[in-house]
Homo-oligomer: A and B are copies of this chain.
Amino acid sequence: MTLTGNLLIGQRAVPGNRETIRAIDPSSNQALEPAYAGASSEQMAQACTLAWAAFDTYRETPLEQRAGFLETIAEQIEALGDALIDRAHAETGLPKARLLGERGRTCAQLRTFARVVRAGEWLDVRVDNALPERQPLPRPDLRQRQVALGPVAVFGASNFPLAFSVAGGDTASALAAGCPVVVKAHGAHPGTSELVGLAVARAVAQCELPEGVFSLLYGAGRELGIGLVTDPRIKAVGFTGSRSGGLALCQAAQARPEPIPVYAEMSAINPVFLFDGALRSRSETLAQGFVTSLTQGAGQFCTNPGLVVARQGPALEHFLVVASAHVGQAAAQTMLTPAIANAYADGVAALSENQNARCAANSLPAQGPNQCQAQLFVTTAQAFLADPTLQAEVFGAASLVVACANDEQIRQVAEHLEGQLTATLHLDEADLDSARRLLPTLERKAGRILVNGWPTGVEVSDAMVHGGPFPATSDARSTSVGTAAILRFLRPVCYQDFPDALLPGALQQANPLHLRRLLDGQREA
């Protein structure tokens, strides 16, 4: 399995002819072969042309064929074997055990969407039979289904080189919805991207789908990304990354002659609220759990707990002492890229220099390049409320503890927060009333609210929400993880008084797909 550095424009593997990028092993700062030449605007246009040509066919593939395609992608990724794990490890510095887990998650995610495609609930079929005798006017026959939006541009994320990259959640859900996908590979792991891209391309061929269903492009800087988002054949965008990157794509998408939806998952500090009862009864357990969550994967999770909010007092003091001790014993960890390590250092420096925050602990010193030393800072509610820079995300294993004078200050801090992916409550029975009072605020602020857990685990399931109010995402009406992610790439179409022979299968009177339709106002059993 030799890497070539080629783009994948449909089934054609061709070299790009723009500036090259090369992966860096962050543990050594060594550049990795091969070089990946960026796609020219013509090559990007070719990929979009192929995607557009494939769209009308692909969006009407039988559900079974489409589900089989997703499963075939999973098989092809598994068939890459150790080569994939080895390359991802070299490109990201992530431990192999974590990457094995992430591969499992990626393939399970594809198979989950295969199940979703087969079940067909996402078609949201609604049938209102004609009422020709109704007074004063007859009702026509009306049938609604969901159709795919069109080709989707997917931007690979740096922090999940498998599960949120080339064949990750955005790609899986877009393909499930019936949308061809053009991926812009993340520049930090082009080799991993090529391997997975080849796996997807093999699945396209094996399932005899139009080649434009999938393309993979590389590109330095923002030119390729903005080009993709403004191409008239691209109809939606999936992105996980920085706030500035996400906002740039949103602005480009809105400035198009035909604006399109952008699903950008951007930034969050994921507040953790420690209620008095819980803090008093188990501050040591909480401190340990918190530091484990904070330092997992060098803190490079969108759901990393970057903020702790609690009432000041002896219990919080004890929590801080124990958490500081755990942070102090934690080893520094290699971050994904030099740029991320630099940004983390900058963010930590800004907090260190902020007179409103005090550094309570930092982990063991770095043993190599691009390492992240975990950091714990402390501030007061008063300072937090007055200084907006204190809620800027520091991507990595840094967290800020906000000590509050009373419940009302805790509520004020919660109300003051920007939109979040998650909010976490640690509580005992005695804290239920306090939690109940805080809940309406948190429901307005976050996409997921946890009790007595830690936010860094994100299950791929029906009920998961990995999303939230701006700036956590650009569109709080959606989730990028879990089966509801498919709904992002669909729009409703109504068919009025169609002869059965002209209707798509999902809407035909005999219900050949065996869907549970909303039939004349009643859900079918």
| Chain A residues close to B by CB (< 8 Å) | 56, 60, 101, 115, 121, 124, 126-128, 136-137, 139-140, 142-144, 147, 149-150, 250-251, 254, 258-259, 261, 419, 432, 435-436, 439-440, 443-444, 446-453, 457, 459, 461-465, 467, 469-471, 474-479, 484, 490-499, 501-502, 516, 518, 521, 523, 525
A465 to chain B, nearest CB (A): 4
Q: How far is the CB of A482 from chain B (nearest CB, A)?
A: 8
Cross-chain contact B139 with A459 (CB below 8 angstroms): yes
Contact (A494, B128) CB under 8 Å given A144-B462, A258-B419, A502-B432: no
Copies in the complex: 2
Report if A457-B137 is in contact (Cβ < 8 Å); known contacts: A449-B496, A451-B497: yes
Known: A261-B477, A453-B496, A495-B449. Is A128-B521 also a contact (CB below 8 A)?
A: no
Contacts of A449 in B (CB 8 A): 493-496, 498
Q: How far is the CA of A462 from the CA of B143 in the complex (A)?
A: 9
Contact A128-B501, Cβ < 8 Å, known A250-B259, A261-B477, A493-B449: no
Q: Is the CB of A439 within 8 A of B502?
A: yes
CA distance A451 to B101 in the complex (A): 52
A461 and B518 CA atoms in complex are apart in Å by: 11
Q: How far is the CA of A181 from the CA of B496 in the complex (A)?
A: 32
Cβ distance A467 to chain B, nearest Cβ, rounded Å: 7
What residues of chain B lie closer than 8 Å to A137, measured between beta carbons? 457
CA distance A501 to B475 in the complex (A): 30
Residues in B with CB closer than 8 Å to A144 are 462-465, 484
Q: Which residue of B lies closest to A236 (CB)?
A: B477
Q: A140-B457, A451-B498, A459-B140 are in contact. Are A484 and B525 (CB under 8 A)?
A: no
Cβ of A521 to closest chain B Cβ, rounded Å: 6
Report the minimal beta-carbon distance from A301 to chain B, rounded to whole angstroms.
Answer: 15
Query: Known: A250-B259, A449-B496, A523-B516. Is A432-B465 also a contact (CB below 8 A)?
Result: no
Report the minimum CB–CB distance from A495 to chain B (whole Å).
Answer: 6
Name the one of B149, B476, B525 contacting A491, with C-beta atoms under 8 angstroms: B476
The residues of B that contact A136 with a CB separation of less than 8 Å are 101
CA–CA, A450 and B141, complex, Å: 10
